[in-house]
């Protein structure tokens, strides 16, 4: 396959501890793609996987010219890895899906058919019919969307999944965003265009790599990337406290000069100082979070670094080292 050949479709997925799923995913998604067109590519982005995911994917690329393996220099995170795959894609349509088989690869055909029901469709995105986990986990998931949508002008559909089929112009629009602190769920919604939801059944196969700590980090990153309302909140709190302080001073003065009653009670003073001190620390923390994001943005460090690209071209297996010349293998 010529590197710059125009394709009907690109299939993009990321790899991290994904070795058990790669071969089955490849077989199933390739079969589905061939039912649509023979003009397609499958892009595996290795996000610094600690297992033999890279080796497994490389073996596929050695035997199939439709397979391209993008190897990142280290682990940059799921969202950055997905963006790397989108930027590397050449297809007129781009199908993004996780490799873990929780979303059926055969859904490619369903998404393709749904996409072409209307001429002006740019995106068909997957929405889970049900959320994984117990009551607490489901409640926390719903709280994530409720909190984000209440604070941000960009609205994200609840239970949205990675799986989606996108037009080339939509993918190019996503590529035009330049921020380093990526929250693709927000960018996907913020880009606009004509987007259609499609409800799908997700097969939950076990423990997720998104720990509670990662989920909290994702929430903080999402909110601070798309909303300044946390900063505005402390402006209103400050104004309210200032007004209450003026009122309290007037009450103390009134009681002193009208009734001769002195203000007393060290306990109430200590409680008030502790409350307002804690509030100040919290507000400084919020401001610091935003400043940290600004600091990361102005450094303009790359969102990811591609170490190698593996692909079979014209019966030759090509290893493209981004920092050196191409080598034939």
What is the torsion angle, in degrees rounded to the nearest 10, for the CA atoms of residue 106, residue 111, residue 114 and residue 116? Answer: -110
Confidence of residue 67 (pLDDT cuts 50, 70, 90): very high
The fold of the 7-142+156-210+301-328 domain, in CATH, is Spore Coat Polysaccharide Biosynthesis Protein SpsA; Chain A (3.90.550)
DSSP string for 36-75: T-S-EEEEEEE-S-SSSHHHHHHHHHHH-TTEEEEEESS-
Query: Residue 326 has what pLDDT?
Result: 44
CB distance 186 to 224 below 8 Å: no
Reported as a pLDDT band with limits 50, 70 and 90, residue 280 is confident
Indicate the pTM of the whole model. 0.72
CA distance 213 to 152: 22
Q: Which long-range contacts (CB under 8 A, 24 or more apart) does 291-294 make?
A: 293/181, 293/224, 293/225
Q: What digits encode the pLDDT tens for the residues 81-100?
A: 999 999 999 999 999 999 98
Start-end of H helices in 72-183: 78-88, 107-115, 135-151, 168-175
* pLDDT at residue 265 tops 70: no
Ranges of each domain in the chain:
7-142+156-210+301-328, 229-299
What confidence score (pLDDT) does residue 11 get?
Answer: 95
Q: What angle do CA 44, 213, 298 make, to 5 degrees?
A: 70
Q: Which of 157, 149, 147 is nearest to 126 (CA)?
A: 157
- Asked if pLDDT for residue 20 goes beyond 50, the answer is yes
């Amino acid at each position: 396959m010529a590197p710059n050949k125009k394709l009907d479709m690109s299939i993009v997925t990321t790899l991290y501890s994904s070795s058990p799923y790669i071969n089955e995913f490849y077989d199933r998604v390739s079969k589905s793609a061939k039912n649509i067109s023979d003009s397609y590519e499958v892009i595996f982005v290795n996000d610094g996987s600690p297992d033999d995911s890279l080796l497994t994917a490389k073996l596929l690329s050695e035997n199939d010219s439709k397979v391209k393996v993008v190897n990142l220099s280290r682990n940059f995170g799921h969202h950055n890895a997905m963006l790397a795959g989108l930027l590397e894609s050449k297809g007129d349509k781009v199908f993004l899906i996780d490799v873990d088989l929780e979303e059926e690869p055969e859904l490619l055909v369903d998404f393709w058919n749904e996409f072409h029901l209307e001429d002006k469709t740019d995106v068909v995105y997957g929405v889970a019919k049900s959320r994984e986990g117990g009551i607490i986990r489901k409640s926390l998931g719903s709280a994530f969307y409720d909190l984000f949508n209440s604070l941000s002008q960009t609205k994200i559909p609840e239970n949205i999944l990675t799986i989606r089929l996108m037009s080339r112009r939509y993918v190019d629009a996503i590529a035009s965003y330049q921020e380093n602190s990526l929250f693709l769920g927000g960018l996907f919604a913020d880009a606009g265009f004509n987007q259609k939801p499609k409800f799908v059944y997700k097969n939950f196969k076990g423990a997720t790599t998104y720990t509670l700590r990662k989920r909290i980090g994702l929430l903080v990153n999402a909110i601070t990337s798309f909303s300044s309302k946390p900063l505005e909140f402390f402006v209103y709190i400050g104004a309210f406290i200032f007004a209450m302080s003026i009122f309290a001073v007037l009450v103390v003065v009134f009681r002193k000069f009208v009734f001769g009653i002195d203000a007393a009670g060290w306990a109430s003073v200590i409680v008030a100082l502790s409350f307002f001190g804690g509030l100040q620390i919290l507000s400084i923390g919020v401001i610091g979070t935003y400043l940290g994001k600004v600091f990361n943005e102005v450094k303009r460090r790359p969102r990811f670094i591609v170490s190698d690209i593996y692909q079979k071209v014209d019966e030759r297996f090509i290893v493209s080292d981004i920092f050196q010349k191409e080598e034939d293998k």
